[in-house]
Structure 1
Amino acid sequence: MRLFGRKDEEDEAGRPGDGVAGFWAWWQEARPRLDPLVAAGAAEGIEELVAPAVEAIHPGLVWEVAPGRNAAHILVVTAAGDAELRSLAHRWARAAPPADLLWEFHPSRQANPQALELTLDVGGFEFALDKLVFGLRVPRDQPRVDVAAHHPIFSELDEETRLEAALLALDRLLGEDDVARWVGEITPATFQPIDAVAAVHLPAVIADLASGYQDEEWLMLEGRTGEGAPLAATARFPLRPVDHPLFDQHIEITLPYAHRDDDGLPAGESLTALRDYEERLTGLLLTLRDDALLAAHLSAAGQRVVHVYADPASDAATHARELIGSWEEGEPRVDVSSDPAWAAVSPFLS
């Protein structure tokens, strides 16, 4: 079931307005009407009741009621792949009341252990997930699987409907967040791919891929700025907003350095000072490990730019401003903005 709208409510810090709090106040009042509708399977009545309440949070959110894992039912309110809305959906879930026997709450579609028993109506055709097969390709040195999905009904559907059906099936098989983490290109195919594997094997393939990325890794990269100056960067790998959905505050720290080599990269005393600063920043982030993350830093043309992402409810930005107070090479700067899609580090996202 899809969803609908509210005016964009944000306070001065760029955080959601009272839409989330308003939803949960509504939920307490609406439960006596909603529970009988769900028990009766009255889809139209459920939509008429729930849709405006989710719309009041944000028009881009998508919702559904599904069988629960631990409770009878799940209410999912999800960004449905929209990185700009993911943190809002997670804040909605974080503000939820404790789960009870009837309801649990999630900010993304959950994997269904009985997914292969499902038959869905797609464009008037029966879409049985046990007839779905995949062609799989793992690009070299990439933490993703490219997927070509095929189902017998795909030849009867238009391209947009095929893609929507493939995405829905992947969400049911893996869970929406793991699709965002581990699935790359998705191609709905009208012919069965060579060496296709049955849908039942996909979770095991993804689990095997994920097992190779359990430890923290950093990549060292080289390139050039838009003006052509040499650039050196270090970035966390894999780097994905889905792993830190509440970290939608971007803290950009700019440190000018005085000592540089012929390429404009830090050298000598400046390199030592930058390493000392990085150690102090790393120590700070260790104390804020649930609230902030060092994503990447890059050096070029006499400046190092450090990218940190944080929960805006934390004190990470305040601490970052305090930390630059001891920098002695030029005027350091801390710029803070809302960046739920991590657009500032988009070249490093994996």
Structure 2
Amino acid sequence: MGMFNRKPKKPSGQAKPDPIEEFWQWWERNQHSITDAIEKGTLNDYVEPLTGRVQAIDPRLAFEFGPGVESQHQLTVTAEGDPSARSAARRWLNQAPAADTTWSFFDMRQAAAVISKLHIFGHTISLRDIQVATEPTTTGLSVGLYHPVFSQLSEAERTQLTFIALDHCLGEEVVSIWLDGIDALPAPPAESVDLSELPGIVAEVRKRNSNDEGISWLNLKGETPQGPVVVSVLGRLNSAVNPHLDHYVGVTVGFQDAHPVYELEDKITAMFSGHGMPQRGMIHSGMMVASEVLLDQRLRTMHFYVDSTTDLEYQIRAVVQQWRDGEVLINAEYDPGWHNVQHLRV
């Protein structure tokens, strides 16, 4: 008999206005005026209406304008590192128009083209003076940053400056996915590199832990109170990998023969079909991020994340209810930070 932790949510019949769709309709009407306002120095006239429309999507989001790399200007709507708000920012980006010579759009801060100076906390800080200590982790990198001005800043200010410098150097997405420990150091490290060298170091880490399909998977073995376990897991288990996949679905099945379990997995992952979007290319509605097999108990748990705006949880439940080879347990909940799989992070 199958066990289910709660009733599946069925799609609501009452459609509410989509604040993301409303944002882009407003943008289409006003983008030329905003471009002119940047040239005239009157962009402040649009701060209030933009703030209202961004916060209607999610009050935790912030926006900023900046010079573009392949376009004249760029608009970034960011969750500012908050995993629980990233899905809203990514959905905003997924509905963005294609970039052109005037505008491009991002949901995470991009790396700056040049390592420059910051005017912050009453100081003019040259990012070229930052020293970086690096330590490889299993699939990522831990870093510690030091700047002489740290002695004049509070702990909170040192931490904030550290993250600003890393976003400036690497971009918010790379920082979120590939960096593990991040520290503001109280003294110069014994061994260090310049901040400008960090992108190359991280690029090597990414290369070692990626393949043609993206981030590599790891196969691990361990012991639990229930006996030996075999784990397959995405090498970088972070919601920034696919922020719009914010709903967790864990499927545990008992089995006698492994082959039908793989067939079940294939049936589920086949639901995660992609669709093209102007700004992000092919967008998938779900992904498997890990699996665990308790060998003695012959139980396999598959960990999925899906887009909460779809009915994929309902579809997965319908498929799993047909399982007849052993017990079934489904655990599902809204989990934009991917907390349900952090025990598997390496």
TM-score tier after normalising by the smaller chain length = 0.7 to 0.9
2:276 alignment partner in structure 1: none
2:246 matches 1:253: no
- Conserved 8 A contact 1:281-1:323: no
CA distance in 1, matches of 2:326, 2:204: 48
- Which secondary structure does the structure 1 equivalent of 2:124 belong to? strand
- Which secondary structure does the structure 1 equivalent of 2:27 belong to? helix
For 1:237, give the aligned amino acid.
L
- Normalized against structure 2, the TM-score is what? 0.82
Aligned length: 318
CA distance in 1, matches of 2:308, 2:49: 32
- Which secondary structure does the structure 2 equivalent of 1:252 belong to? strand
1:232 alignment partner in structure 2: 229
2:150 matches 1:154: yes
- Conserved 8 A contact 1:16-1:88: no
- Conserved 8 A contact 2:146-2:186: yes
Q: Specify every segment of 5 or more residues in structure 1 that has no aligned partner in the other structure, as ranges.
A: 1-10, 258-269
CA distance in 1, matches of 2:173, 2:16: 22
1:291 alignment partner in structure 2: 285
Identity of aligned residues (%): 25
- Conserved 8 A contact 1:235-1:348: no
What aligned pairs does 1:55-134 form with structure 2 within 5 A after superposition?
55-114=55-114, 116=115, 118-134=116-132
CA distance in 1, matches of 2:125, 2:42: 22
CA distance in 1, matches of 2:129, 2:22: 43
2:182 matches 1:186: yes
1:175 alignment partner in structure 2: 171
CA distance in 1, matches of 2:54, 2:234: 35
2:208 alignment partner in structure 1: 212
- Conserved 8 A contact 1:233-1:296: no
Structure 1 stretch displaced more, 331-340 or 47-56 = 331-340
2:265 matches 1:281: yes
After superposition, the CA RMSD in angstroms is 2.7
After superposition, the Cα gap between the structure-2 partners of 1:311 and 1:196, relative to the gap in structure 1 and judged at 3 Å, is same
After superposition, the Cα gap between the structure-2 partners of 1:34 and 1:49, relative to the gap in structure 1 and judged at 3 Å, is farther
- Normalized against structure 1, the TM-score is what? 0.81
1:202 alignment partner in structure 2: 198
After superposition, the Cα gap between the structure-2 partners of 1:246 and 1:16, relative to the gap in structure 1 and judged at 3 Å, is farther
Greater relative contact order (Cα < 8 A, sep 6+): 2
- Which secondary structure does the structure 1 equivalent of 2:190 belong to? coil
CA distance in 2, matches of 1:302, 1:45: 63
- Which secondary structure does the structure 2 equivalent of 1:84 belong to? helix
Shift of 1:17: 6.7
- Which secondary structure does the structure 2 equivalent of 1:92 belong to? helix
1:266 alignment partner in structure 2: none
From 318, 336, 339, the counterpart of 1:340: 336
CA distance in 1, matches of 2:189, 2:161: 17
CA distance in 2, matches of 1:51, 1:21: 15
